[in-house]
Structure 1
Amino acid sequence: MACRISELVLECRDPEVLARFWCEVLDFVVLDREDGEMVEIGPREGFGGPQPTIILSRRDEPEKAKPRLHIDVNATDRDQDAELDRLLKLGARPADVGQTGEEGWHVLADPEGNEFCLLKARLAPL
C-alpha cells in the first residue's frame, strides 16, 4: 500500500491572512486554529478527503532560501485568463522566476511572497 499526501504545511508570518487568501483561491474553509499560531484550511468535508489540507504555521522569520516546493493550481469553472484576474484581485501578484513569457502557466506570489503557478488546463471540480 502507498502513502498519500494528507496535509501541506506552510510556515508564514500571518496565518490568518494567508488562510483568507488560500480559502478564496481554493474554495476551502477553516478547519482548525490555535491562538494565532496555526490555521488549518481544507475542503468542506475536512481532513482525509480527496484533497490535502493546508496548515499555515506561524513563524516570525520564514526561511529566506527559495522553497523547494510550490503549489500549482488549475481553474475549475473559468478559463486561465479569467482565473488570473480573480487571483490578482484576491491579492496575488506576478512573480518573475526567469520565465520567457512563452509558458502555458503564470507564476504568482501569495500575499507573503510564496510562489505558486496557475496552470492552463481546466480541471473538473471535485
Structure 2
Amino acid sequence: MAYDFQVVIDTGDPHPLADWWADALGWKVERQEEAFIREMIEKGYAGEDETTVHNGALVWKSGAAIRHPDGLERAPRVLFQLVPEPKRVKNRVHLDIRVGAGKIDEEAARLTAKGAKELHRGRQGPNWWVTLADPEGNEFCLS
C-alpha cells in the first residue's frame, strides 16, 4: 500500500517562511479562508489568540502551507508549523532542489539575496551542489 505525505518544517514564524519558500520554489502559498476561521471562532472551536494577520488577511497562527502550482499530484504539500523553540542543530532531513547544473550559481545568488546563507559546496564525480540555509537556518541543497 502506498501513502501520500506532506513535508513539515518547524519554524518560529510560519507565514513569512512559507512566503520565502513559495518564492524560492516558484510555488503558491495556500490561501486560508478568513470566513472559515471566523466561523470556527464564533462556534467556540478556536480563539482569537490562535490567529494572526499576515499580508492583511486573518490566518491561523500555527501554520502556513505551500504547494506546487500543478497541485498535489505533482509534488507533496509543504507545511510550515509554528514551534516555540529555535532551530539548534543540523537538519536530519533536508530538501534537494534540482535546478540543473547550469543554474545552480544563479539560483544560489538569487536565494542568498533574499536571505539564504551559503553553507558549503560539494561534489561527487561530475555532480555538484550548493548547500544553503533558509532565513531560519534550515539547510537545503541546490543541484
TM-score band, normalised by shorter chain: 0.7 to 0.9
Q: CA RMSD in A?
A: 2.0
Aligned residues: 112
Unaligned 5+ residue runs, structure 1? Answer: 120-126
Name the structure where helix makes up a greater proportion of residues. 2
User: TM (normalized to structure 1)?
Assistant: 0.77
User: Percent identity of the aligned residues?
Assistant: 33
CA distance in structure 1 between the partners assigned to 2:122 and 2:95 by the alignment: 20
User: TM (normalized to structure 2)?
Assistant: 0.69
- 1:45 deviates by 3.9
Unaligned 5+ residue runs, structure 2? Answer: 33-58
Distance 1:94 1:45, change over 3 A: same
CA distance in structure 2 between the partners assigned to 1:63 and 1:82 by the alignment: 27
CA distance in structure 2 between the partners assigned to 1:25 and 1:74 by the alignment: 12
Residue pairs, 1:61-100, within 5 angstroms: 61-62=85-86, 64-75=88-99, 79-96=103-120
Amino acid at match of 1:52: P
1:2 matches 2:11: no
Name the structure where strand makes up a greater proportion of residues. 2
